[in-house]
Amino acid sequence: MNKPTVNILNYAPKLAKEFDHINRQWIERMFVLEQIDEDVISNPQRHIIDKGGHIWFAEHSELGVIGTCALMKKGKDPFELTKMAVLEKA
């Protein structure tokens, strides 16, 4: 029997929907979805990637993409850990 594995994926435009879905579920369950959250999760390319940030995804071998986290560029060197979420099913 093969044990499930988790792979770390770098952001790709095809994963933008996953970024939105995972973060939306997490925020709505734990917090209140504010306009800034809506802006960032609905367009991560513009608000994170194009500004020098990074996004990663956790892909489970049986469950698919189950989690994500992002580093948002906040100046010359500093980054802010932002939009970190895991699907409830995981």
Whole-model pTM: value is: 0.92
Evaluate if residue 44 carries a pLDDT over 90.
Answer: yes
Evaluate if residue 1 carries a pLDDT over 80.
Answer: no
Residues 6 or more apart whose Cβ sits within 8 Å of residue 21: none
35-59 burial, b at 16+ Cβ within 10 Å, e below that, comes to eebeebbeebeebbbeeebebbbbb
pLDDT tens-digit readout, 61-88:
999 999 999 999 998 889 999 999 999 9
